[in-house]
Amino acid sequence: MRTVYVNGDYLPESEATVSIFDRGFLMADAVYEVTSVLDGRLIDFDGHMARLERSLAELEMNKPAAFDELLGIHRDLVRRNGVTEGLVYLQVTRGSAGERDFVFPDPETVAPTLVLFTQAKPGLADNPAARRGIKVISIPDIRWARRDIKTTQLLYPSMGKMMARRAGADDAWMVEEGHVTEGTSNNAYIVRGKRIITRELSSDILHGITRAAVLRLAREAQMEVEERAFTIAEAQAADEAFITSASTFVMPVVEIDGATLGDGTPGPVARRLRDIYLEESRKAAI
C-alpha cells in the first residue's frame, strides 16, 4: 500500500482523509502540480514549484509550506514508496471552513489543505507510444478563460479524453476561434521544415513547464522556434506534430482528425527533442 501525505502526516493511503466540506471537493477551489520522477529523482522541480506559487497567488491562496519543505515531502514520498519512474501529484485546496459557502473563508483562520501522492509508472521514459506516435482529434475549447492557472477543474479535459477514446484516438486538441489552444493535458506543437511552431503564452493556455524546457533546449540546439497560434488545417499539412507535458515529455503526434502526418511515424524533430529533453532533464534532476 502506498504512503501518502496529508497536512503534515505520512499515512497509508487507506487512512488518509479530507473533510467533505473541503473547497477542493465542493468547488474545485484547488490547484495542483505533477512532477515526474526518473531514476528516483525529480524532473523540472523548481519550475513546477514556481508555477504552483503563481497559481496560488492568482487565486489569493496561502502557500501551504516553504519550497524546501515541499522538496523534502516530494523526496520522502519517492523514497518511502520506492518510486524510480513515475509521478508525484501535489494538490493545494483553499481548505475547509466546515460549511459550504461561495465566499472565500478567512485565510487567517482556515488553512489550505495539502495532499501529495506518488504514482509509479515503470516505462515512463521508454514509452512504446513514443515510438508509434499518438492520434489526436480536435474538439472545441469550452474551458474557462484562466487556463494559465493550474486548477483542478478538469471535467472538460477529462470529457475530451473520452471523446478521443471513443473516436479511436489517444487525445484531443482544443480549438478556439479557429486556432488550437492546447491538448487536454499537454501543450501542442507542429513542425514545418525545421521550424517548431507552438501557441504563444497567454491566459488561453497553461504555461507548460516541459514547454519552457523544450523550447529552451530547441533554441540551444539552433532549432527555429515560432510562438504563434495555428489551425487544425495547418497542423494536418505540417511535417510533424507533437505534444509536451510532465508525464509524456515530448510525444510525437502522427494523426490529426484522421489525416496522417508524413509517413505516419514519429518525425526526426520530435524524436530528437524527446532524446535531448530526457537526457538534459535526467542530468538536472534533483
Active site residues: 150
Q: How far apart, in whole angstroms, are the C-alpha atoms of residue 46 and residue 216?
A: 15
Strand pairing report for 134-140 and 171-176: parallel
Is 105 or 130 the residue whose CB approaches ligand PLP more closely?
130
What is the C-alpha end-to-end distance of the chain, expressed in Å? 25
At 161, phi and psi to the nearest 5?
-65, -40
The closest alpha carbon to 190, from 260, 128, 252, 263, belongs to 252
Which grid cell sits at 44? 523540472
Q: Which of 217, 245, 255, 271 is the binder for ligand PLP (CB under 6 A)?
A: 245
Strand partners, 253: 134, 241
Beta-carbon count within 10 A of 49 CB: 21
193-212 positions binding ligand PLP, by CB under 6 A: 206, 208-211
**Residues shown for the chain:** 286
Among the listed residues 93, 118, 151, 185, the single contact to ligand PLP using CB under 6 A: 185
The CB-of-266 to ligand PLP minimum distance in angstroms stands at: 19
**Residues 19-58 within binding reach of ligand PLP (CB under 6 A):** 34
User: Using the rule CB under 6 A, which residue among 90, 164, 241, 246 binds ligand PLP?
Assistant: 246
Q: Which is nearer to ligand PLP, 182 or 255 (CB)?
A: 182
List of residues 6+ apart from 213 with CB closer than 8 A: 44, 47, 277, 280, 281
**171/255 with CB nearer ligand PLP:** 171
Which one among 29, 141, 182, 240 touches ligand PLP, defined by CB under 6 A?
A: 182
Output 94 or 211, the one with its CB closest to ligand PLP: 211
Among 186, 240, 271, 277, binds ligand PLP (CB under 6 A): 186
Residues near ligand PLP, by CB under 6 A: 34, 182, 185-187, 206, 208-211, 244-246
